[in-house]
Structure 1
Amino acid sequence: ARPGIASWLLDPGLSSAEFFQRRRITDTFTAIEELATHLEGIGGRKNVIWVSEAFAVPVGVGRQEMLERMRRATRALSHAQAALYPVDARGLVGAISFASGKPSLTTFGTVRGNIESMEIVAEETGGRAFANTNALDRSIWSAVDDARFTYVLGYYPSSAFFDRGFRKIDVNVTRKKASVRHRAGYHASPPPAQDTPARDARFARP
């Protein structure tokens, strides 16, 4: 059987620092999923500003499991109409040096993987990632400013086949120098079943 997240976390070759780093990654995606579940009850578009340094998806044992956790967190945010704006709490990373012996957690692979993971989650949900900068307050205010000007676009899908597959969304504008941030798509899940009395009662409300 393929090793799971438990094996990945309990690798006997890990240092204590590496163990806690891996644990922070799993806790981060779990917290994002729980937050998205809570935000589902709030209508409209939401911007979530997440200041963290635990976004890197590891290489090797547990990578596929963690990629799936990241996809689940992304799907949950998209379903809740929430755009994630991750801010790298490490600030300006700068040049990366390798210590003698076993590479530390600040190796290039970890740093680059951290930034790439942030960019993927942000792009998939319609947000924007902020990394490699010490101007954390400016990054946060930039994310806040994005909420000032939003448009709600609606459409009817041409296919009525709900197979839970991913449907890509692409939005373009003709205005020059304008940038558009939107979720990458959605999963075509069938609408929830509802019995007739409950449906009639809902439409009967004033």
Structure 2
Amino acid sequence: MTTDDILLRELERDALTEIVNIGVGRAASNLRKMVGGQVLLSVPAIEIVSQPRAARLISEREEADLVAVRQDFSGAFSGRALLIFPETKSLELVRAVTHDELSVEEVLEMEHEALAETGNVILNSCLATMANMLKRSLSMTIPEVVRGNGASLFEVIEDEPDAGLVLFLYIDFSVRDRDIRGYIAMLMSLPSLAVLKELVGEFIERVVGEDG
């Protein structure tokens, strides 16, 4: 595989950013329905970085421990999607999803289940929208709730600093009127990125064809 196989031209990067934007917008709409508050999103950032660098990008923003809902996806392209929160915000999300109707003890009991379900809805709607726009289908694993820092969430192996480059895609989000903020991140290997680059190229051709 050569560098040309994975490097995104400006047009491809713009198209992928737009596809992700639409997918995340769909996910945010579902989150808004769940929590009953406006969800604010940043513009997606798409970078090809090492896994340790991906971990640092999250750790630089959040010094506290993190909790994440993690799902692997596979199909035409594969990778790992994560919905990440500072651990201190996870209970606030559960309270929002359950509309403040539970006691503290009930919130604690439901935390794992509520986080997994929330992550499942958000990550599935985001990836399903992206796959649909690329005319492909993806399957996803059962959501898994994990805790730790950036390095453990991305499973960075300290003894292997060159553990492989990945496409790291991340979006900041927050819920207005709630003390909730987090990140949606995706990690994809370079072979998957090469496939994704092809699919984005086909997407661009379709759009150009329609516009022509």
Superposition TM-score, scaled by structure 2 size: 0.27
Q: Which one has the bigger strand percentage? A: 2
Q: Which one has the bigger helix percentage? A: 2
Superposition TM-score, scaled by structure 1 size: 0.28
